[in-house]
Homo-oligomer: A and B are copies of this chain.
Amino acid sequence: MSLSEFCPRYHYAVELIGRRWSGAILRAMLAGRAGYAEIRGAVPALSDTLLSQRLDELEREGIVDRTVVASSPVRVEYHLTPKGRALEQAVAEIARWAEDWLPVPEPEGSRRPSR
């Protein structure tokens, strides 16, 4: 793939998935999280307001589909569309780079050997 020219579609895409929390939400959904609470639980420190905003945005982009499940109480589920699932390789490559090149964060009160 030639990377030699400015591509407005690439530019749009990289800033779309890089928007605050969107990348983490996509990863949780690629891993199969579907319920609102499930997604929220998979992304620490994400507020309800921000999660709603991000899911709305991803829905408008055609990346996420919102379904109302006729249970009692009614449940709302979010699933990736084919366009959303197609992001899996990109997300996996970013994750691979992060694992290869970024330092392991030290959990509070413990020490791990650095790589």
Contacts and interface: CB of A to CB of B under 8 A. Distances in A.
Interface residues on A, range: 35 or more
Contacts of A17: 14, 18, 94
B6 A94 contact: no
Given A3-B31, A9-B98, A87-B97, 19 more contacts: A1-B92, A1-B95, A3-B88, A3-B91, A6-B43, A7-B95, A9-B95, A9-B102, A10-B27, A10-B99, A15-B20, A16-B18, A18-B18, A18-B22, A86-B97, A89-B93, A90-B93, A90-B94, A90-B97
Interface of A, helix, strand, loop or mixed by DSSP: helix
A12 B20 CA distance: 10
A66 B19 CA distance: 27
